[in-house]
Structure formats: structure tokens, C-alpha cells
A and B are shown apart, each in its own frame.
Chain A
């Protein structure tokens, strides 16, 4: 059973400057009494009062301005940050895709990188070896796959990373934006794979600024603002409130075609 439950969670980052992070202060503090008045470590309150509950089949978009806490929320939902206060429970295998390049080693070949990236995403070596051919075909990198990654262009790296990421079978898929830097023709191909991936996954949380991608992949949304959940509900309502206009009006017709008829206002954003 795949589920994420978060109750009243907060994420506070302690900011240690060079001084407070060292032993000196602690030791000196013991010996010579309190030095200065800033004995307390400053804290950044990244998330506040987060209460969410996701279940199998949920497709949630995260929207909000830069620094609103989307990425931190994704990390909270992944279990990377355990809440400083409140509680979180995550059941299911999480595949976090925050940065396409993480875990990629420039010195080893494309093939080896495919395996490693898969291991990071919770796959086994055997599972990845079964997928290598299919990934190779998708990335169209051909003989380049046996070359070290450092010889690749940025676009080629993104292809490889996308190829691996879209080949897995995740229970909980957490996607952060940053699926760009690929040529348009390839993006068309990647789109199908991405859609397939989302269909395969038990749950999707997707942080993005792209209305088009959001409508294609999600049906509900959360609007993050200053580390809090500002609004939670159906994708169209949340986007309308967030942008101040109906997002479907501005999407090009071919996109509307692809995502099917304009989704009806669902009222409360609940999906079985």
C-alpha cells in the first residue's frame, strides 16, 4: 500500500556560520562563560504546518514562486528531511528525481552510468541490465554509450539521465522541474515516456512551473507560499488562484488537444 501521511510538519534549517559550526565556540563557551549574545544558531523556517495525505493513484502538482518551499517539501515527502516538528510517514519505494545529473560520474561510460543511476533510484543491477538496451535505443546515443560521460554534451547527458529515469518502475515518483535543455524532437519522445512512467508509478508529486506539463501529468495541485500550503485542490482551481487567470485559456490549442478536453472544475480535488 503506497501512501504518504504528513501531519503538522515543520522543517527548520539551522544555519551554522563558520564560528558556531566549530568546536571552538562550544569549548570556549564552557571555559570562559558565554561569549557574545548570539549563542543560538539562527534558523531558517523552510516549511510550516504541512499536513498532507496522499494515496495510491494521486497525481499532485506543486506550484509556487521560487523559494516557496517546493523542493524542500519534495525532500520532506521523500523522507530525506525528517520533520523537525510534527510527523511524517512514507510507505512505498520512493524514486526521487530532483536533479537529473546526481550520481552521474563523468569519468565512467554511459553504460556504467545507466546502471549506477538505476541503483540510486532503487533498482537492482539485474533490473538495470535488462533495461540497458531499451534505454540505449531511446537515447539514440549509439556508440557514444561506451565513451566516458565527460565527452557528452549537456543535451546528451540529459537524454541519458531521462532515459534512465523514465525506465524505472517507481511506487512513489517525486519529480522536480528541470526537464529542459533537450531539443524539441527529443522532448516529444521523452513526453510519451514520461507519461508512461507516471502511469506506471503508484503516486506522483511533481513540482513545475510549466502549465503544460502539469496538466499532462497531474490532476490535483498544492500551492506553496512562504513555506506553507496556501491552497490545495483540483489542478485547474489551484492554478487559476495562483496565476489569477484560468491557465487553460492561454495554453496553445495543440496542447489542449493532447491533454484531452479541458478538465471540468472538480470542486474539491478529491480523486479516488
Chain B
């Protein structure tokens, strides 16, 4: 008999036979040392441990993509092709509708679509993150962040595939956008592609950071309230039309006048998200307001996500 204490209580509260020779303590109410389940320390540890399991989530994210194109001849290249087809069709439509030149408008549309598919993908898949990973969550004691990173990583890989379309389009139309140009007739004079293109890198990093909190927050909320994914889905379609992707924000600034709609547009957070990366990539005028707005969203969003992780991290495995 070691000095180790072993407390055994039976269903009826009586002692079972083996306890006759054991030391019996009254069950202690004092919790074990260490941070309680609902604490900032545990929320931060979840994120840290999740990031550490890079091999697992990066593999899962890539597997998700391979899975979708399993047994197809050109595989994930379909991602690139379908994006190219959509961009081209929208470019032609735009040129016909607004009398724009395809050479100047197509790069903008392409980048807008690529960023949009990343952002909307993160939001929609984010809301489903924990629901689709139910099987793993119930079988593995992994940090929740592993599933978040799996989703975000999958979207980053899709983004990378789509970026090929951007490179192609820019390669073809570089002659139209490497000097000051107008995206639409009578619009703002845009400076054209220049060294400012490097700003696309911090812009994308900022968007990825936002994808993180979106996935955490929407994922947790949608696991508890299953109406959230369909609600999000229908809203995303609406927002797509309200964000300058198919149409160009320059429409609101024609002939040197600013339309009152421009102020309304500034209230759309997705406009700023798309703009911080679109501006450097196709050589548009860059505005610090977009950066401030997106930066602010990153801070507020992560604060909310941390709060959700703190309070509901341990509940997710009960809810899925």
C-alpha cells in the first residue's frame, strides 16, 4: 500500500469491498492546481499548441484539396481553370455593360474575385469548421486551433492556385497597367503597377490573420447554433454584389465628382479587405484608410475570438 490516496465512491454512497483496506478520504472539493478550463491561459495555450501541430493541420488542409480532385486527370488545376473562366466571363460582361476596356478592367476583376473567394471561403468554411470535424474532435484531444488552421490553410492553398490566374492576366495585360491608366472611362487616374506591389504581402498576411479569428468565432457560434451556416451563406451572396468586385469602385468617382454612394461603400468592411490587396496588385491608388479599417477589425476580431475561446473552447466537444 503506497501513501497515494485513492478515493472511491460507489453509486449508493456505500463502500465497495476493496475499500476495506484502503485509506478513504472524503472527496475534496478543492480543484486540482493549474489553470481552470475557462481561463485566458488555456485559450492562449490552445492557439499555441495548435500552431505547433503544423504537420497535422498542413497535411489535413492539403488533403482536403487533393480529396476534392481525386481521380480527376488534372486535379487541383481545376481550381485555377474555373477561376480563370469566371474572371474572363465577368471581364467581358463588364466591358460590355460599362464600356470599359478589358485590358484595364480584367486585372481588377481577377484580383477582386481571388480575394473574394478567399474571404468568403474562410467565412463559410469557418462556420462549418467544427461541425465537419466532429469525428476527429470526439476522437482526438487536439487543440481546437488545429481544425481552424486546417480550414485557413486549405483556403490559403486555394488562394495560391488562384494566384496563377492573376499572374497570367497581369502577364498578358501588363502593357495596359504598367503606366498611369483609367480602370473605367472618365474614372480616377490610377498610378499603375509600381514598387508598391510589395504591399500585397503584408496585406495578405493581415487578411490571413482576420481569417483566423473569423473561423474561430463563427466556428464556435455555428457549432452551438446550427442556423448560422445557412444565414452566413445567404448573406455572402448579398455582400458579393455590394462589394466592388464585379463592378469597380471607380464608378463612384467619375468625372472628378464623388458620388454619395461612396460614403455608403466605406461602411462595407469587405470593400476595405478587398481593396488593401487589390490596390497594390493592379496598381491602384493606395489609401491608408483601408489599412486602418482592416487593422482595427483584426484587433477587435481577435479580442472577440479569444473571449469565445476562453469561454466556450471546452464546450465545443460537447456541442458537436
Contacts and interface: CB of A to CB of B under 8 A. Distances in A.
Given A8-B28, A53-B5, A23 B10 contact: no
Interface string B46-83: 00000000011001000100110011000000000000
Given A51-B27, A267-B21, A268-B22, A230 B16 contact: yes
Given A49-B27, A87-B31, 11 more contacts: A8-B29, A16-B319, A80-B137, A82-B314, A89-B32, A98-B139, A103-B136, A232-B8, A233-B16, A269-B18, A270-B6
Interface stretch (B220-228, B277-285, B286-294): B220-228
Interface of A: 5, 7-8, 13-14, 16, 21-24, 26, 49, 51-53, 55, 75, 78-84, 86-90, 94, 96, 98-99, 102-103, 105, 107-108, 116, 119-120, 124-125, 225-226, 228-234, 237-238, 241, 267-270, 272
B21 A51 contact: no
Interface residues of B, number: 50
Contacts of B234: none
Interface of B: 1-2, 4-11, 16-18, 21-22, 27-34, 36-37, 55-56, 59, 63, 66-67, 70-71, 135-141, 224-228, 231, 314, 317-319
B224 A21 contact: yes
Contacts of B137: 80
Q: List 4 tightest A-B contacts by C-beta distance, closest first.
A: A233-B18, A87-B31, A79-B141, A82-B314
Given A87-B36, A228-B10, A21 B226 contact: yes
B235 to A, nearest CB: 14
Contacts of B225: 21-23, 26
A39 B5 CA distance: 42
A272 B4 CA distance: 10
Contacts, number: 136
A155 B59 CA distance: 27
A83 B318 CA distance: 10
Contacts of A53: 4-6
A226 B11 CA distance: 8
User: Which one of A23, A82, A125 has the greatest number of beta carbons of chain B within 10 Å?
Assistant: A82
Contacts of A49: 9, 27
7 contacts: A8-B27, A80-B140, A102-B136, A102-B139, A107-B67, A229-B8, A270-B2
What is the interface of chain A mostly: helix, strand, loop, or mixed?
Answer: mixed
Contacts of B22: 268, 270
A16 B188 CA distance: 54
B138 to A, nearest CB: 6
Nearest to A222: B8
Contacts of A96: 139-141
B9 A228 contact: yes
Nearest to A21: B226
Contacts of A55: 4
Contacts of A75: 138
A145 B111 CA distance: 43
B31 A102 contact: no
A80 B320 CA distance: 12
B318 A13 contact: yes
Given A102-B136, A124-B55, A86 B31 contact: yes
Contacts of B17: 231, 233, 237, 241
Contacts of B37: 82-83
